[in-house]
Amino acid sequence: MGFIPNTPEDRKAMLAAMGYASFEELLQKAVPKELLCAAKIDMPGPLSEMEALTEAFALSSSNADTNSYVSFLGAGAYDHYIPAAVGAIASRPEFATAYTPYQAEVSQGTLQAIFEFQSLIAMLTSMDVANASMYDGPTALAEAVLMAVGEKKRNRILIPELLNPHYRQVLRTYTRPTGIELVEIPSVGGLTDIEKLKSLADDTVAAVILQNPNFLGYVEDGFAFKRAVEDSGAVFIAVVDPLSLGILTPPGEYGAEIALGEGQPLGIPIGFGGPYLGFFAAREKHVRKMPGRLIGASTDDKGTRGFVMTLQTREQHIRREKATSNICTNQALCALASTVYLSMLGENGFKKIAGLCFHKAHYLAKRLAEVKGVQLLNDAPFFREFAIRLSEPTDRMLEDMSANGYLAGVPLKRFYPERENDLLIAVTEKRSKTEMDQFVETLDEVLNA
């Protein structure tokens, strides 16, 4: 057994044997001076297990979470109810296996769960094929853009002004070293300017991106997008909210060639920004260029149905530098949770949840429009999220609403500095009429006291 320096004397002896008088002297020898912290770190003394737990609980209680606050936050992550069975099933030891099911004969459970996820996503989006999942929605979009550029051999991408800023940032990071040009399509009245889109869509464009609903929550016209770009030959990429597909037309029906998005609304906790779940679906003609892995169903020599990884040449472990994508994993546990969530709800339950979000959001928007100092930002149709403009900057209002137990929304000046009075509000099926009425009354008092 090796020597473990447990006491100060042990550590001093070990440092002396190495030729150093102190640990700081060792650091100064090994680490460049400009990287060392000059300030003295005031570390507290050691705690017992019971004391450490008490301290941890005290620290956690100072956080604002959706169990202790009424949340109207959105902008890509939403406070939906997750049935207890989702966590219970996803936590079973049968699923606590290696994420890469290279050996099909010992991975049938994992492979079947992924196959079911792919099937559900293909059904939701009305697309031909879906992959095993991506890291999250933004990276799924970046992979779709790289895929379109590779197929079309063009380097211009049309992106809507109201694309989620997080998607935009990740897309810029992915495309900056490649020479890909991102061209913005302006918006009018909360929706993409279709006439401007028509003028920009030409034979130099590799892909056109639609986010539906867009970042401000408003529902775009996918059919108009398709008509505007079809003569250019560009790949039509739709970024969609999966829960909205319970009531909105799926992207496959209005002509999208690739459909993707963030799967967090499908049984994934908000967490602290993750882990989340990217989904990616496409027309069959794109199947050999799709990123990530695909799971297929087959039969063995006895006719027994089984599940296998298919089209593995896309994966790093087969083609390495020649692979169509450098993604070499998928969010299998999150995909499993979404599969359980969707299976539990069924088609009718899924539509009901989407309908509740829609009607509750419209109820709250109507009530807020009656408050002095509040106006709806646009008249465009929306799903479960909408923007309002206040008579003053949002900072004080958000602090006062937080003090009253409300996470009132996402301030849009975080992404658009000129929008200091604008707030993005999301309403899920969890919000009761009483909560919404009290929210409106509290906001009225805060603004007009």
- For the stretch 56-88, pLDDT in tens is 999 888 888 888 899 999 999 999 999 999 999
**Model pLDDT for residues 352-361, shown as the tens digit of each residue:** 999 999 999 9
- Exposure string of 382-419, with b = 16+ CB inside 10 Å and e = fewer, is bbbbbbbbbeeebeebbebbeeeebbbbbbbbebeeeb
256 inside domain: yes
Q: Are residues 290 and 375 in the same domain?
A: no
| 297-301, 362-366, 378-382, range with the lowest pLDDT | 297-301
Q: What is the CATH number of the domain that holds 362?
A: 3.90.1150.10
Is 39 a member of any domain?
A: no
Q: What is the mean pLDDT of the chain?
A: 92
* 154 in the same domain as 295: yes
- Quick one: average pLDDT of 360-382? 97
Domain count, the chain: 2
**Percent residues over pLDDT 70 in the chain:** 94
| Mean pLDDT confidence for 177-197 | 96
374: nearest Cα among 388, 395, 360, 361: 388
CATH assignment of the domain containing 273: 3.40.640.10
Residue 240: which domain range?
Answer: 84-342
Does the pLDDT of residue 315 top 90, yes or no? no
73 in any annotated domain: no
Report the amino acid identity of residue 351.
K
Q: Is the pLDDT of residue 114 over 60?
A: yes
- Answer yes or no: are the C-beta atoms of 369 and 402 closer than 8 Å: no
Neighbour count for residue 124 (Cβ, 10 Å): 25
Average pLDDT over residues 26-34: 87
**Which range (124-128, 241-245, 305-309, 425-429) has the least confidence?**
305-309
Last residue of a domain, one of 289, 317, 342: 342
pLDDT band, very low/low/confident/very high, at 2 (cuts 50, 70, 90): low
437 lies in some domain: yes
156 in any annotated domain: yes
Considering the domain boundaries, does residue 123 fall inside one?
Answer: yes
- 352 in the same domain as 338: no
The CA distance from 229 to 255, in Å, is 11
- 294-299 and 305-310 as β-strands: parallel, antiparallel, unpaired? antiparallel
- Write the secondary structure of the chain as one string of H (helix), E (strand) and C (coil): CCCCCCCHHHHHHHHHHHCCCCHHHHHHHHCCHHHCCCCCCCCCCCCCHHHHHHHHHHHHCCCCCCCCCEECCCCCCCCCCCCHHHHHHHCCHHHCCCCCCCCHHHCHHHHHHHHHHHHHHHHHHCCCEECCCECCHHHHHHHHHHHHHHHHCCCEEEEECCCCHHHHHHHHHHHHHHCCEEEEECEECCEECHHHHHHHCCCCEEEEEEEECCCCCECCCHHHHHHHHHHHCCEEEEEECHHHHHCCCCHHHHCCCEEEEECCCCCCCCECCECCCEEEEECHHHHHHCCCCEEEEEECCCCCEEEEEECHHHCHHHHHHHCCCCCCCCCHHHHHHHHHHHHHHHHHHHHHHHHHHHHHHHHHHHHHCCCCCEEECCCCCECCEEEEEECCCHHHHHHHHHHCCEECCEEHHHCCCCCCCEEEEECCCCCCHHHHHHHHHHHHHHHHC
pLDDT of 340 > 90? The answer is yes
* Tens digits of residue pLDDT in 245-260: 999 999 999 999 999 9
**Boundary-marking domain end, from 318, 342, 366:** 342
What pLDDT is stored for residue 1 in this prediction? 46
Are 162 and 296 in a shared domain? yes
So what's the pLDDT on residue 328? Answer: 65
Same domain, 148 and 188: yes
The count of residues in the chain is 449
Query: In this predicted structure, what is the pLDDT of residue 40?
Result: 80
Asked if 164 and 94 sit in the same domain, the reply is yes
Residue 284, both tokens: 């069959």
Compute how many other C-beta atoms are within 10 angstroms of the C-beta atom of residue 84.
7
Asked if residue 264 is part of any domain, the answer here is yes
Q: Please check whether residues 246 and 338 belong to one and the same domain.
A: yes
Do 397 and 283 belong to one domain? Answer: no
Token pair recorded at residue 120 = 């559900």
- Going by pLDDT thresholds of 50, 70 and 90, the confidence category of residue 4 is low
Q: Give yes or no for a cis peptide into 275 (omega within 30° of 0).
A: yes
